[in-house]
A and B are shown apart, each in its own frame.
Chain A
Amino acid sequence: MLAAAKMIHSLFLVNASGDIFLEKHWKSVVSRSVCDYFFEALERATEPENVPPVIPTPHHFLINVLRHRIYFVAVIQSEVPPLFVIEFLHRVVDTFQDYFGVCSEAAIKDNVVVVYELLEEMLDNGFPLATESNILKELIKPPTILRTVVNTITGSTNVGEQLPTGQLSVVPWRRTGVKYTNNEAYFDVVEEIDAIIDKSGSTITAEIQGVIDACVKLTGMPDLTLSFMNPRLLDDVSFHPCVRFKRWEAERILSFIPPDGNFRLLSYHVSSQNLVAIPVYVKHNISFREGSSQGRFELTLGPKQTMGKAVESVLVSSQLPRGVLNANLSPSQGTYTFDPVTKLLSWDVGKINPQKLPSLKGSVSLQTGASKPDENPTINIQFKIQQLAISGLKVNRLDMYGEKYKPFKGIKYMTKAGKFQVRT
């Protein structure tokens, strides 16, 4: 029996209106009619997110991810861990974003040659070859306006001639011969709060997860260590491959030779024993009466445990019940919109002033004859708090070894709402 070839066979990119706008095959060509099964699933799904990620067809399996309103549909012929494919597709999207700034249909179409060159390097025979951004950038240079102009005049190319040195070294994530006049290393500690708050305002579940994103522009082969004041807070961590795991296990110190440029050093979860501070509260009064075509809608936001920092970029959104026809509300600050088709209410609040709490009041009208909705809508809140890691995590020191110069170092903290929901 012939073993069916494993891993990714082909890739189709499908836009929001259901058109295939790019296809790439790593083995024999698979007819694009295979996507019909995907379109069927797309039609059946009420929301774009409801398309099942794995779709079996008579001869193939379709594994898709949805990002930036583009479906990346991979065609598989036989058994393969589905997460393998899903993770890879997300890497492809990340790479496009890294190369073109945005990952949109227009950007992909404009750069179709680079896209093709990238895909060619990222997979060989359907098996991932180079997915590390540092290596890819040595093989294929990202398009910049200047280079495009120069290339058209001189006929020089985007493609590197030498094998990226990283591929062979013990630090495959870093290219060699990096040179900067200003040596800088910036670290952003970003924490997100996921929470579900119930009707009465008590917390059903709340968790903090965080990431440390880095932008490192250092000459040569620097070896960095980063230590925390309170590493015990970190309950569960996942690292960039550059972090030495043994050192972390023994001393709780992050020791690593960084990749060049932007990368995610660490993601973590704050242990669930710690109580999570909830920075905002919502007072709500949403009611529909039986028989009446009007409903009352009142929201007031206020700061709670913010450690004296301001809550900014607040955005409230809520999916109102299907029976709602329109909303007639007045915000005390910011602007609100209501889409009568999707029934999505969103209120861009801005900054919360503790002296004058923002509120949104008014009435919603129901369709005549529609019965009272069973459930009050859930309210989703987004916010940002600068210069604060809500878990209390603090970086102690950042040291550099292996190079002689003095780099400029910077650490920034920020707290954001993750999936922050209030049930009403």
Chain B
Amino acid sequence: MLNHRFLCRNEDLKEMLESNKESLKLEAMKRIVGLIAKGKNASELFPAVVKNVASKNIELKKLVYVYLVRYAEEQQDLALLSISTFQRALKDPNQLIRASALRVLSSIRVPIIVPIMMLAIKEAATDLSPYVRKTAAHAIQKLYSLDPDQKEHLIEVIEKLLKDKSTLVAGSVVMAFEEVCPDRIDLIHKNYRKLCNLLVDVEEWGQVVIIHMLTRYARTQFVSPWREDAMFDENNEKAFYDSEEERKVEQTKPYIMDPDHRLLLRNTKPLLQSRNTAVVMAVSQLYWHLAPKHELSIITKSLVRLLRSHREVQYVVLQNIATMSIQRKGMFEPFMKSFYVRSTDATHIKTLKLEILTNLANEANISTILREFQTYVKSQDKAFAAATIQAIGRCATNISEVTDTCLNGLVLLLSNRDETVVAESVVVIKKLLQTQPSQHSDIIKHMAKLFDNITVPMARASILWLMGEYCEHVPKIAPDVLRKMAKTFTNEEDIVKLQIVNLAAKLYLTNSKQTKLLTQYILNLGKYDQNYDIRDRTRFIRQLIVPNEKSGALSKYARRILMAPKPAPVLQSAFKDRDRFQLGTLSHTLNSQASGYLELSDWPAVAPDQSVRNVEVVEPAGAPALRKSKTAKSNEKFYSDSEEEEEEEEEGSSSEESVSESESEENSDDSNKSSSSQSEKSSSESDSEKKKKTLKNKKLQQQKPDILIITYLPPQIMQKTLLLIIMTKYILIHIVLSISTQFFVNCMCSLLHLCVFLACQFDVVSWHVHVSLQASSPVFVPETSHELLHRMTGKGLSAQYRFTRQPCIYGNSMVSLQLTLSNSSDQALENIHISEKSSTGQNIHRFNAIERLEPQASVTVSMGVDFNDSTQAANFQLCTKEDEFSVSIQPAVGELLLPITMSEADFTKEQEHRAG
């Protein structure tokens, strides 16, 4: 019924569109736009609507444009009917009409019109009207996303438009540059000074884009202004990449800022007064990444001003301030009161303010901050109260003068009525006690007394851990607690059970007389527990502590393993490593790399030629490339072996893309990144070179002792290595796995075993497995193809398909496939294509029809299939001129997955969700 009415309405609309009256047509179009806005499908009306594209009525025309842009992709053939109208409009004397024709033409995502679009863009780029040229700059990006093969031609247009002196064009063309060829820094040289000078007059949105681009540019072209600031250099690990001699040279030469560097800083400064928060943030990040440290303070006021803006703006700005305040407390300390929490703030704003206040805490202001925190602890927002307790814990470890005050305050909170507050206090107290346990046995006793009333599992587990760890300080209470726990074991949560087993083991070792039977009872309960973690742990503990003939040498060391002194946990800001991302970016906000994120390169050690920015001098075309490879060389000292030289030779001759890619990877100070780039290399290397790699890894280990990198180690060796770490008492173990897929499964198994083992050693082990699989580079691509169509059934045509494991260019949700078609008959096959009709629901991106395939010839084409995340086979028709063959592709589950890199926090979070 509903459907019927809908059809009727469509009929009405069609009639209205076909009438002679303008007003009726307009009314119909308005209704149709209403349908589109609601997300209803109005594609059926396409033929009736497209007829009105040439209408004289400008509003009607605009609404038709809206419709066209929305549905052209679905109705490509019909959309082509409108193209000639736009081509005519492109020549219209009215610039508004020319511009809007280009806008719509370039928004119609129909691959066939790519050449027409290209022509139109080239023409519009030389239009007299800057407004039309601006539209051309926008169209560049649209064409590029429709057909990336046009890249080279589009770069030519970008190069032309970059020279444009209109403020209207500048922002849009830089946007196109960032999208199409962000690595072609050489295109900017000649326009650098012009862009700096135009900047103040460019519209605000363009300013943001230009400032971000110039930040990247400056980091490749100027030397670091931070040289005197030795502290910062160390943090930055720059020393790691620079060789010794270079540093000496640097120190002897006094630093003079490049006038172009100064120009950028000077011309962006007034924009701190912009009303647009995005502009202010962009300038702030530019100063943060480019300005000498003593000039940074000017951005503080502006950032604090942004805090009075909307909630969402506050959120982003506070995140950036949180990152800044870790490195430079002094910047924001005078504005501490601006970060005081109001009861009306949203929870995420509150926690960010808390984070900043904690970062700003020092000996001088800690009493003020703690007084403020006291108010927060009482907040009705319990999540916030819990976060405050953690903040107090961080202040207590960072500022030793107040450790005792904080600890006493936290003990008082243990009698709070709210469970989350008590639980959080227990956890924080546990961490604080680890720093000085002997003086606080009374606090441990106090907590043991409270134990019965605490129900939050994490808090119970923490108290049990404290009992076990410091059982010698509370020799009477600990066995009693164990006795109680033996009774309630079966009703406890898993984390509590694990700690009960631990407590039992530790007491068995220190006080076996009293607890032997209890321990055995608990181990028996654990043996039959439903959770495999607990069963594993129990089994392991039994082997370790109860000596028998099988247990071998290990049980001799049981006491040394379980009771090893453990270093106190370091309470750190969650924003500590956020500075690996450029401030103000989406990646920084999310703390994970978003696609399309362009890494900020390190300062070059030696400034590239300054004269490239001189506009008068005309240089030979090859010059920039040579210069770039020079900088790359100076930064790559670390990898100074034969392969690097080969690379350089390549760089000299090949395109610049590859140069800057390798440069950016290797310049990056992020250790994960560099190790992953290493692994990419290593996977392509032969066995003989493995040794060299391991050596390098050792070097890395020396540099960063808390990160262990295991590359290409067979499981036995890995186990030994891990054992070694146990002996050397590492609490934090980052295991970076850079291994190929064949190895992967084996290694993961042994790793898991090891981790169980490790978890027993250290009750607070946080372990991370950084699997360096990145979406862009699959570690292993199978060469095997599957048969799609046999040559017998295909009457000579045979087809094979293969999963390329590359991100599909046709759509995000599509899986990329490579199809090899060969003709084994004795006559040419014509017009090979996939039929429009797809029997199953999958969305298929077809390959372009192959006009002719000669006998014995074969051709490889790529296609994309959206399997809708299911393993259901995609059925479709493979057609030739004469025949149709039904074929089907069945994906394996693995082929539907996209490898991703995730941060350790995400990993542990995900892992928790999936705990068996």
Kindly identify, within residues 7 to 61 of chain B, every residue whose CB is under 8 Å from any CB belonging to chain A. Answer: 22-23, 26, 30, 33-34, 36-39, 57-60
Q: A21 near B38 (CB under 8 angstroms)?
A: yes
Q: A125 near B142 (CB under 8 angstroms)?
A: yes
With A and B bound together, what is the CA distance between A159 and B66 in angstroms?
A: 14
Q: Does A396 contact B (CB under 8 A)?
A: no
Q: B596 near A87 (CB under 8 angstroms)?
A: no
**21 A–B contacts from the bound complex (CB under 8 Å):** A5-B141, A28-B109, A53-B311, A61-B586, A65-B311, A79-B585, A81-B278, A84-B278, A113-B34, A120-B62, A155-B26, A155-B57, A157-B59, A159-B62, A162-B94, A236-B301, A237-B273, A240-B275, A269-B308, A375-B378, A423-B375
How many residues on chain A are close to B (CB under 8 Å)?
A: 100
**Which A residue's beta carbon lies closest to that of B308?**
A209
Q: B776 near A1 (CB under 8 angstroms)?
A: yes
Q: A3 near B144 (CB under 8 angstroms)?
A: yes
Interface 9-mer from B95-103, B225-233, B441-449, B682-690: B95-103
Q: Mark A405-418, 1 if CB is under 8 A from B, else 0.
A: 00000000000001
Q: Does A2 contact B (CB under 8 A)?
A: yes
Q: B37 near A22 (CB under 8 angstroms)?
A: yes
Q: Give the shortest distance, in Å, between B806 (CB) and chain A (any CB).
A: 9
Given A6-B178, A127-B172, A237-B273, A53 and B312 touching (CB < 8 A)?
A: yes
- CB contacts (< 8 Å) of B281 on chain A: these are 81, 83
Q: Give the shortest distance, in Å, between B395 (CB) and chain A (any CB).
A: 19
Q: Give the shortest distance, in Å, between A323 (CB) and chain B (any CB).
A: 10
Q: Does A220 contact B (CB under 8 A)?
A: no
Interface 9-mer from B336-344, B630-638, B718-726: B336-344
- CB contacts (< 8 Å) of A86 on chain B: these are 277-278, 310, 312-313, 316
Binding site for B on A (CB under 8 A): 1-7, 20-25, 27-29, 32, 46-47, 49-50, 52-54, 56, 59, 61, 63-67, 76-84, 86-88, 90, 112-113, 115-117, 120, 124-125, 127-129, 131, 152, 155, 157-159, 161-163, 167-168, 170, 172, 194, 196, 204-205, 207, 209, 235-241, 245, 249, 264, 267, 269, 319, 321-322, 371, 373-375, 378, 380, 418-419, 421, 423
- CB contacts (< 8 Å) of A1 on chain B: these are 776, 807
- CB contacts (< 8 Å) of A167 on chain B: these are 131, 168
**New A-B pairs, 18, CB < 8 Å, besides A50-B348, A54-B586:** A1-B807, A6-B178, A6-B596, A66-B312, A67-B310, A84-B205, A88-B205, A120-B65, A124-B135, A128-B205, A167-B131, A196-B340, A239-B273, A240-B275, A241-B204, A269-B308, A373-B380, A375-B378
Q: B378 near A116 (CB under 8 angstroms)?
A: no
Q: A236 near B585 (CB under 8 angstroms)?
A: no
Given A47-B346, A66-B311, A81 and B63 touching (CB < 8 A)?
A: no
Q: A168 near B130 (CB under 8 angstroms)?
A: yes
With A and B bound together, what is the CA distance between A66 and B138 in angstroms?
A: 29
Q: Does B498 contact A (CB under 8 A)?
A: no
With A and B bound together, what is the CA distance between A131 and B342 in angstroms?
A: 33
Q: B310 near A3 (CB under 8 angstroms)?
A: no
**Which B residue's beta carbon lies closest to that of A139?**
B96
Interface 9-mer from B473-481, B571-579, B587-595: B587-595
Q: Does B185 contact A (CB under 8 A)?
A: no
- CB contacts (< 8 Å) of A3 on chain B: these are 144-145, 148, 179-180, 596
Q: Does B111 contact A (CB under 8 A)?
A: no
Q: A269 near B203 (CB under 8 angstroms)?
A: no
> Which of the residues A90, A207, A235 comes within 8 Å of B310, measured between beta carbons?
A90
Q: A157 near B109 (CB under 8 angstroms)?
A: no
Binding site for A on B (CB under 8 A): 22-23, 26, 30, 33-34, 36-39, 57-60, 62-63, 65-66, 70, 73, 94-96, 99, 103, 106-107, 109, 129-131, 135, 138-139, 141-142, 144-145, 148, 168, 172, 175, 178-180, 200-201, 203-205, 208, 212, 270, 273-278, 280-282, 301-302, 304-305, 308, 310-313, 315-317, 337-338, 340, 342-344, 346-348, 372, 375, 378-380, 416-418, 584-587, 589-590, 592, 594-598, 776, 807, 809, 812-813
- CB contacts (< 8 Å) of A66 on chain B: these are 311-312
Main secondary structure of the interface of B (DSSP, over half): helix
Q: A49 near B346 (CB under 8 angstroms)?
A: yes
Q: B344 near A159 (CB under 8 angstroms)?
A: no
Give the most central of B106, B180, B281: most A CB within 10 Å: B281
Q: A5 near B33 (CB under 8 angstroms)?
A: no
Q: Which 10 A-B pairs have the closest CB atoms?
A: A78-B596, A157-B59, A375-B378, A205-B337, A163-B96, A53-B312, A378-B343, A83-B278, A49-B346, A128-B205
- CB contacts (< 8 Å) of A238 on chain B: these are 273-275, 280, 302, 305
Given A23-B37, A236-B301, A127 and B175 touching (CB < 8 A)?
A: yes
Q: B22 near A155 (CB under 8 angstroms)?
A: yes
- CB contacts (< 8 Å) of A162 on chain B: these are 94, 96
Q: Give the shortest distance, in Å, between A348 (CB) and chain B (any CB).
A: 18
Q: B37 near A158 (CB under 8 angstroms)?
A: no
- CB contacts (< 8 Å) of B22 on chain A: these are 155
Q: Give the shortest distance, in Å, between A25 (CB) and chain B (any CB).
A: 7
Q: B282 near A81 (CB under 8 angstroms)?
A: yes
Q: A56 near B59 (CB under 8 angstroms)?
A: no
